[in-house]
Structure 1
Amino acid sequence: MTYNIKTGGYDGSRGTRLDAIAEVIGSALPDVVALQELRGDSGPWLAERLGMRMVRARSSWGQPVAVLIGPEWTVLTEGTVARPFHHAAARVEIATLGGPLTVISAHLHPHWGWRRLHEARWLVTAVGKARLALVLGDLNTLDPWTDHQERLRALPPAYRVRHLRWRPLGREPSDRDIGTVARVDTRAVAALDAAGLVDVFRAVGEGPAETAPTALGGAEFSGMRLDYLFATPGLAAHVRSCRIIKTPAADRASDHYPVVAEIDI
């Protein structure tokens, strides 16, 4: 599972969404969870509540990420992808009957496509020659296989520009920018695809692909797929299913829906 839990599950004076987040994760019974947007003690709290082990990657500028692993799995190696990510990337190697499984939880740059492209390339390097590997997380990037014109027109200009390659200097982006003087920036996802990694939801996904926003809303979203699982070909051959959890609990837990895949290795 990959899950952006929105500001660590904290809503300031309004309290936390941690119980709802734990309910969503627990209902899927995942063996491995990639979490993004940790804050404070939200990661350790969720790990203890779910009875899982946590490997966290701290962030210098943004928010930490983590991988939670079920207690029945043996962790061979763990650590941080040592690159200057805006947020972070955590890397864990787990023993399975099919061989070592590398899991990387990442959260790419929220604002600039060129930074996301560099971060995606660092993820490819982190996968290396691993036969069984999974890169998952909030990639903050639209995919290159879908027409995004209408969803981008629905965004306020300040958020729309995050997903455009460039815009003329001296003016704000307008509707005519889309598909004309500015192109949709899908380079980060395209880089993972070009490296031979398989978009798991695109391969076997069930139902609508959009992962944000939930009922909690968010002006920066307009029905978008930003959360992904990418597998090496050796792992993708064993994927049974992939779906987005859209339940009442998920609607109140975060502004992103979690994505979960079943892999038989």
Structure 2
Amino acid sequence: MTLKLMTYNIKNGGGDRLDAIGRVIAGEAPDVVAVQEMRGEPALGAATGMRQLVARSWRGQPVGLLVARHLRVIAAGRVARPFFHAAVWARLATPLGPLTVVGAHLYPYWGRARRAEAGWLAAFIKSQGESVLLADLNTLDPYSDHAVELATLPMPYRRRHLRRLGGGPDVGATALLARRGLVDVFRRCGTGQAWTVPTTRGGGAEFTELRLDYVLATPGVAGRFTGCCVVTGGEAESASDHYPLVARAA
């Protein structure tokens, strides 16, 4: 028995791209999808035949989870902290055993706010036991240099990824989650292209080739993952400015 997870930022609610987004999701046949930027709460559950759970936003855009009908939802809700966007969670009966899946979208503009939000996620996940975080963290990974990709961004967008003091890449949110024990699944077993923005035909002037979308897991679950990849090609090139990221566990 396997479990396939996806995280996908659909860009401002999807708009006239919703049918294409639904086809991209259906083509991968995931068991669970975390969806960011669900402006207007589009009915992706109906389009994909999955249950749809939505956490409404404080100031930004809602975040959702799509859950396949064959998985039992034990409990679900919204992480009750004042995220700029939101974080949604569901405790599921899965082939890997009971598992909490958290979908989240961190603050886009300032690293200090992202670190605070990452701390809230880490504290919540600690309370849940075995968990997976599917998220647009809006943060570079803490394992790479990033100088080359950041140098190509116009300064208004580059500032989003720089520390206010010292000017180097701001990786505080991802580094915090790593310190709290969450394992980067792509780093562990990912193959192919690592960057998740921008797509070739989906816009994204604020991006260069950056990895902003992640699957992170508690150690006991991380060891079950057998593969992780960015979904490219076909309608994934134009359905959003982000590529979906998928991971498989057994």
Is the TM-score greater than 0.5?
Answer: yes
- C-alpha offsets along residues 57-81 of structure 1, whole Å, 9 cap, x if unaligned? 0002000000110001110010000
Q: Distance in 2 between matches of 1:29 and 1:104?
A: 19
Percent identity over paired residues: 51
Question: Does residue 31 of structure 1 match 2:36?
Answer: no
Deviations 1:187-230 (A, max 9, x none): 00001110111000000001120000001232210100000000
Return the index of the structure with the highest Cα Rg.
1
Equivalents in 1 of 2:31, 2:134: separation in Å? 14
Q: Give yes or no for contact 2:183–2:216 (8 Å, CA) kept in 1.
A: yes
* 1:155–1:219 contact (8 Å) kept in structure 2: no
- Indicate the residue corresponding to 2:138 in structure 1: 140
Q: Secondary structure at the match of 1:218?
A: coil
Distance 1:98 1:262 in 2: 11
Q: CA deviation at 1:97?
A: 4.2
Give RMSD over aligned pairs: 1.0
Structure 1 residue 100 displacement after superposition:
1.2
With normalisation by structure 2, the TM-score equals: 0.95
CA contact (8 A) 2:195 2:209 kept: yes
Where in structure 2 are there 5+ consecutive unaligned residues? 1-5
Task: For 1:1-265, list aligned pairs within 5 A.
Answer: 1-10=6-15, 16-42=16-42, 45-166=43-164, 181-215=166-200, 216-264=202-250
Residues 64 and 88, structure 1, Cα contact 8 Å, conserved in 2: yes
The C-alpha deviation readout for 1:76-113, integer Å capped at 9, x for no partner, is 01000000100000010001243210000000000010
Q: What is the rounded CA distance, in whole Å, between the counterparts of 2:204 and 2:51 in structure 1?
A: 31
Taking the aligned partners of 2:96 and 2:23, their CA distance within structure 1 comes to 30
**Which runs of structure 1 show a deviation greater than 4 angstroms over 4 or more consecutive aligned residues?**
none
SS at match of 2:238: helix
- State the AA in 2 paired with 1:185: D
Determine if contact 1:156/1:219 at 8 Å carries over to the other structure. Answer: no
Residue 13 (structure 1) aligns with: none
Instruction: State the AA in 2 paired with 1:21.
Output: I
Deviation at 1:131, TM superposition (A): 3.7
Gaps of 5+ in 1: 11-15, 168-180
